[in-house]
Every structure is written in structure tokens, then in C-alpha cells.
């Protein structure tokens, strides 16, 4: 039976970058005889406009059926003022939690061709290759109770809850250790165990899981220190495992080490390797519709999909190589452009990757 992939472009630059990634996916399917069948649907603001909710039941049902999902990005000013529970981002949180996608892999790799696009000095970032493993379906973004209440003095007070169970921590810790095993064999667990009860349990469980991985060098770091170390000496890290909110923030910070958030893919996996693949960045409303967004993060998300959901290592590596060739040719979208390079738009960049992949 053919492998089914659901494409959810989303909002803002989502449809523009996803269109380029789909071209690459279709070519990879043809070139490596993967026989993928693609389905298309809406999520986020586009789904609110069509169905009144950011994730329709029919879309969720389709997402459950397919083998992998490719997502652009959701959100934008048009939907910023609507009720919190049906905002575009809720659709994203819902699909992640409903599909049980608890393991978010966010690589921060600096392509040597882009060393000058980083805001840090070349020697600090050259050769950077970090993987952030972020817990994605628990913690403060999902915890209850949450809300706003009125205090006795009439003032409003807002509150959130940060819960983590042992099993939630154990399964994400395992992902961290397993990723470290196929990389540099170093795992840094990031928490705030000096202040938070959830972090104290996190650290305890990570220590227990470590017993099963004696080949991995485990360290612990408080999140404030980790934020500092990431800009001071980022190459000290191999794999970082952390909770949902800390991972959200640290992975954006790590992305800037590489020059642009427009270069960074991500994978969100369930316990069986089914995954949703999306760029780390948002829907970039400030540049939406202009044809200038960088599609490479989404194209590299396709490569992660081939590697993690379909075990097509050769096809995945070919896409990465095609991206590298295009950077070698000096083609750059605005976000990664530097003196002496040729500035191109979203479609030209996608076409160049397709051409490079075809010629490999």
C-alpha cells in the first residue's frame, strides 16, 4: 500500500514555503520510487475561515490515518483578537496532543556556507551541530487549571500549571538518550530544579533512565545557564533534552546561532515513529504574500520526514545535499543573504533545490 502524507500549509508564509517543499517531496518520491500519495487540507486561521475552528474533526481524522504530516505554520494578525480557545495556535497544540507527538526534534546545524549569517563570531559557531529534544505534549502549555480569576481585592490574577508525570518524563528522556547514541554520545538535560517541583522530578527520572544508557555522558543544566551557554560556547552541546516551554525558548535561541530561523526544520514524533514535520519558525505575517520567505526549513523538514517516518536515509541525505549545493551556488533568500550572494525569492529557491536534487 502506498504511503500517505497529509499536507497542511496553514497561514501567512505557510502556503508559499509548503508549495516548494511539496515540489521537493514529489520529486524525491519519483526519483527514489517511494510511491507517496499526498492529501491536502487546512489548519489554523485557514481552518477558522473555512470551518470556524482551527482544526476540524475531519482534518484530525485524516491526520490520524496518514503515515506523516507536513505542516507550514499557523497564525496571523487576522485571527489575533478571536477567543483564545479557537485561536490558530490551538489547532496546532491540538493536533500535536491528539496524535501523541510528544517528541520534538529540533536540530540547529550551521551550514558552513552560512557561517557569516550568524550574529555570533565565526569561530564560536563554525561546525555547530546541536539537537534539541523538546517535550511537546505536556507541561505548562497543556496544564490545568489555567485561567484568570478575580482576587478579593478586585484585582484580576492569571495562572497556569506546569505538571509532568514520571511516564511523560521517562519517554522523552529515552528519546534524548537514543538520539545521543546515534550522535556524539553526550546528553544535557535542562531544567530549573533549584526552583520548580516539576523540574526536581524531571531530574530524578532522567537519572533513572540514564542507568539504561551507560555509554552516554549525561549532564544537567539549569535553563538560565543553558540560555547563556548557548551563546557563550554552543559547541559544548550535542543533544539537549528539555521540557515544553524551555525547549520552545531554547530552540529559538539556538536557531539564531545558525543565522536564520528560516533554515531550521523540526520533527514531532509519537511512540511509533509517526510524525509531523514543520519548520521551527512561525507564519511570518510581516513577509507573507511577498514571495521572499525562505523555504529551506520546510524542505529540510521533508528530509527529516523521509529519515524518521519512512527510514529513507538515502533520499533524506539527497535532499540535504541538494540544499547544500544550492547554498554553494550562492543563492540566498533575504534572511540569509550576505554581500556577494545572489538574492532569490521563495519559488526560485525551491526550483533550485528541485534542479539540484534532479541532477544528483
Stretch that binds ligand NAD, among 114-122, 134-142, 289-297, 337-345 (CB under 6 A): 289-297
Q: How many Å apart are CA 123 and CA 125, to the nearest integer?
A: 6
- In the complex, the smallest distance separating the C-beta of residue 3 from ligand NAD, rounded to whole angstroms, is 24
Is 192 known to be catalytic? yes
- Residue 261: CB atoms within 10 Å: 19
Which entry of 129, 160, 252, 270 is annotated as an active-site residue?
252
Is residue 224 part of the annotated active site? The answer reads yes
- Cis bond upstream, residue 145 (ω within 30): yes
15, 76, 91, 139: which one binds ligand NAD (CB under 6 A):
76
- Cα–Cα dist 53/91, whole Å: 8
Among 262, 265, 275, 350, binds ligand NAD (CB under 6 A): 262
Cα→Cα distances 233→183, 257, 282, Å: 19, 11, 27
Is 248 annotated as catalytic?
yes
The least distance separating ligand NAD from the CB of residue 292, rounded to whole angstroms, comes to 7
Query: What span, in angstroms and rounded, lies between the C-alpha atoms of 357 and 24?
Result: 8
Q: What is the DSSP string of 50-81?
A: HHSSSS-HHHHHHHHHSSEEEEEE---GGGTT
Interface segment toward ligand NAD; rule CB under 6 A; list 18-26, 121-129, 182-190, 293-301: 293-301
The span from the CA of 8 to the CA of 352, in Å, is: 23
CA distance 9 to 21: 10
Does residue 215 carry a catalytic annotation? no
Query: Closest CB to ligand NAD among 76 and 138?
Result: 76
How would DSSP label each residue in 163-219? ---HHHHHHHHHHHHHHHHTTTSEEEEEE-TTT-HHHHHHHHHHHHHHTT-TTSEEE
Single out the segment in contact with ligand NAD by CB under 6 A; choices: 150-158, 201-209, 282-290, 304-312.
282-290
- Say which of 238, 243, 248, 335 is annotated catalytic: 248
DSSP 8-state code for residue 121: -
Work out how close the CB of 33 gets to ligand NAD at its nearest, in angstroms, rounded to a whole number: 30
89 annotated as ligand-binding:
yes
The helix (run of H) or strand (run of E) holding residue 279 is strand 275-279
Q: What Rg do the C-alpha atoms of the chain give, in angstroms?
A: 20
Pick the catalytic residue: 116, 224, 328, 342? Answer: 224
Q: Is 248 annotated as a binding residue?
A: yes
- Residues numbered 84 to 123 that lie near ligand NAD (CB under 6 A) are 89, 92
291 is in an annotated binding site: yes
Rounded to a whole number of angstroms, the minimum distance from the CB of residue 89 to ligand NAD is 5
Catalytic site includes residue 49: no
Nearer to ligand NAD, 28 or 284 (CB): 284
Of 18, 118, 294, 309, the one binding ligand NAD (CB under 6 A) is 294
Q: What share of the chain is helix, strand, coil (3-state, %, to 5)?
A: 45, 20, 35
Candidates 74-82, 94-102, 115-123, 192-200 — which segment interacts with ligand NAD by CB under 6 A?
Answer: 74-82
Is the CB of 118 or the CB of 283 nearer to ligand NAD? 283
Following DSSP, what letter does each residue of 298-355 receive, concatenated? HHHHHHHHHHHTS--HHHHHHHHHHHHHHHHTTEE-GGG--TTSEE--HHHHHHHHHH
Residue closer to ligand NAD by CB (options 17, 356) is 17
79 is in an annotated binding site: yes
Which residue of the set 23, 111, 141, 174 is catalytic? 141
Q: Is 287 in the site for ligand NAD (CB under 6 A)?
A: yes
Q: How far is the CB of 281 from ligand NAD (least distance, A)?
A: 3
The 3-state DSSP class for residue 202 equals helix
Nearest-angstrom CA–CA distance, 263 and 150: 44
Asked if residues 241 and 205 have their Cβ atoms less than 8 Å apart, the reply is no
Residues of each annotated binding site for Mg(2+):
224, 248, 252
Tell me which residues touch ligand NAD (CB under 6 A): 13, 17, 73-76, 89, 92, 261-262, 278, 281-287, 293-294, 297, 333, 335
Amino acid at each position: 500500500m502506498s504511503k500517505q502524507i497529509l499536507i497542511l500549509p496553514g497561514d501567512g508564509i505557510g502556503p508559499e514555503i509548503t508549495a516548494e517543499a511539496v515540489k521537493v517531496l514529489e520529486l524525491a518520491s519519483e526519483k527514489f520510487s517511494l510511491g507517496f500519495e499526498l492529501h491536502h487540507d487546512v489548519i489554523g486561521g485557514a481552518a477558522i475561515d473555512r470551518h470556524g475552528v482551527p482544526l476540524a474533526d475531519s482534518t484530525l481524522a485524516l491526520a490520524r490515518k496518514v503515515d506523516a504530516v507536513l505542516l507550514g505554520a499557523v497564525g496571523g494578525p487576522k485571527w489575533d483578537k478571536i477567543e483564545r480557545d479557537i485561536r490558530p495556535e490551538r489547532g496546532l497544540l491540538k493536533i500535536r496532543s491528539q496524535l501523541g507527538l510528544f517528541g520534538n526534534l529540533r536540530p540547529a546545524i550551521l551550514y558552513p556556507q552560512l557561517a557569516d549569517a550568524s550574529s555570533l563570531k565565526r569561530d564560536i559557531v563554525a561546525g555547530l551541530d546541536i539537537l534539541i529534544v523538546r517535550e511537546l505534549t505536556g507541561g505548562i502549555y497543556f496544564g490545568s487549571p489555567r485561567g484568570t480569576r478575580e482576587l478579593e481585592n478586585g484585582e484580576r490574577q492569571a495562572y497556569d500549571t506546569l505538571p509532568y508525570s514520571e511516564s511523560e518524563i521517562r519517554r522523552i528522556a529515552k528519546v534524548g538518550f537514543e538520539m545521543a547514541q546515534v550522535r556524539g554520545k553526550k546528553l544535557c538535560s535542562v531544567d530549573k530544579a533549584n526552583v520548580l517541583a516539576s523540574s526536581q522530578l524531571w531530574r530524578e527520572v532522567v537519572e533513572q533512565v540514564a542507568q539504561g544508557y551507560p555509554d552516554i555522558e549525561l549532564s544537567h543544566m539549569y535553563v538560565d545557564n543553558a540560555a547563556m551557554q548557548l551563546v557563550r560556547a554552543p559547541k559544548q552541546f550535542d543533544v539537549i533534552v528539555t521540557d515544553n516551554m524551555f525547549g520552545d525558548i531554547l530552540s529559538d535561541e539556538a536557531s539564531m546561532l545558525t543565522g536564520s530561523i528560516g533554515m531550521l526544520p523540526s520533527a514531532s514524533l509519537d511512540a511509533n515513529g509517526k510524525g509531523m514535520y514543520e519548520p521551527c519558525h512561525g507564519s511570518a505575517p510581516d513577509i507573507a504574500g511577498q514571495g521572499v520567505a525562505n523555504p529551506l526549513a520546510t524542505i529540510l523538514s521533508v528530509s527529516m520526514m523521509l529519515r524518521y517516518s519512512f527510514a529513507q536515509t538515502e533520499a533524506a541525505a539527497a535532499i540535504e545535499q541538494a540544499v547544500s549545493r544550492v547554498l554553494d551556488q550562492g543563492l540566498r533568500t533575504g534572511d540569509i543573504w550576505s554581500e556577494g550572494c545572489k538574492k532569490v525569492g521563495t519559488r526560485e529557491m525551491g526550483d533550485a533545490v528541485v534542479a539540484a536534487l534532479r541532477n544528483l
